[in-house]
Each structure stands twice: as C-alpha cells, then as structure tokens.
Amino acid sequence: MTTIRTFMTDDHRHCDDLFAETEQAMAKNDFALAAASFSGFCTALLAHFDVEEKTLFPAFETKTGMSGGPTQVMRMEHLQMRGLLEDAKEALRTTNSEDYLGVAETLVIMMQQHNMKEENILYPMCDQHLAAESAVLIEQIEKELPAA
C-alpha cells in the first residue's frame, strides 16, 4: 500500500532528478539548457511545497493540534529554499556560473537535510496520525501535483 511517506519521498527523488539535469547542463556550460531545466525543477519543487503547505500540513495540524511544531519548521525551510531558487534563477539569467555553483551547493544540502527530516520524522508521523484518511489524502495530493 502506498503510504504518505513513500509517495512524498518519491516526489523528492523526482525533484532531485530534475535538479541533477540542470547540473549536467551547467557542467557543459550550456546556460540555455540549464535555465530551461532549472525552470522545470522549480515548478516541481514549488508544487511539492504547495501541496505540503496547503493540503498535507493542514491535515496533520488539524488532526494533531500541533501547529507550532515540525510543520512550522518545514514551512520556514520552504521559505529559505524559495529564496535560494530566486538566487539561482538570477545567477542563470546573468550567466554567472560561479554564483550558480555557490547557490546550487547551498540548495543541495538545504534540500537534502530538509528531505531527511520529512522522510524520517514528519512523514512517518503523518502516516501514523492520518492512517484513516491517507488514501483520500494521497489521491488529492496526486491531483494537485503536476504530472511528472
């Protein structure tokens, strides 16, 4: 059975794949290709944030009454990553590869440590507390995410 953890973890990996494509393009110094694939990555990542902030987290918060806890921290990290995405776009727009590498480096670690907290702590908590409604919830999330 699909759990919230496996479903959302798969979407993390999907975002990683798109991020890696941009890096490959940057390694070839192909800014146009990099910018195009980065925009695909942004769309996927922002959709992932949105679905968490608008659907998954509220469901969790309503059920557990925990609104100042882990979801709060995750929202704050989303905000920080949104800032990094803007910085990276700007670096790609001005074809500044040094800035892009610096931002990408920061973004990778930020993203991975964030994913780790979600995958190992928050999603299992969601599965535990939202067991009854998880099938419906996953279906709804699936609808909200753009087709991969």
Q: At its nearest, how many Å lie between other proteins and the CB of residue 123?
A: 12
Q: At its nearest, how many Å lie between other proteins and the CB of residue 133?
A: 22
Choose between 86 and 139: whose C-beta lies nearer to other proteins.
86
For residue 65, the SS3 value is coil
Binding window for other proteins (CB under 8 A); candidates: 15-23, 40-48, 49-57, 131-139: 15-23
CA dist 9 and 118 (Å) reads: 9
Instruction: Please work out the total of residues on this chain that contact other proteins, with binding judged by CB under 8 A.
Output: 35
Distance from the Cα of residue 56 to its chain's centroid: 13
Q: Are 34 and 43 in contact (CB under 8 A)?
A: no
| Helices assigned H by DSSP within the chain | 4-27, 31-51, 57-64, 70-93, 97-117, 123-129, 134-144
Residues that bind other proteins (CB under 8 A): 16-17, 19-20, 23-24, 26-27, 66, 69-70, 73, 76, 79-80, 83-84, 87, 98-99, 101-103, 105-106, 108-110, 112-113, 116-117, 120-121, 125
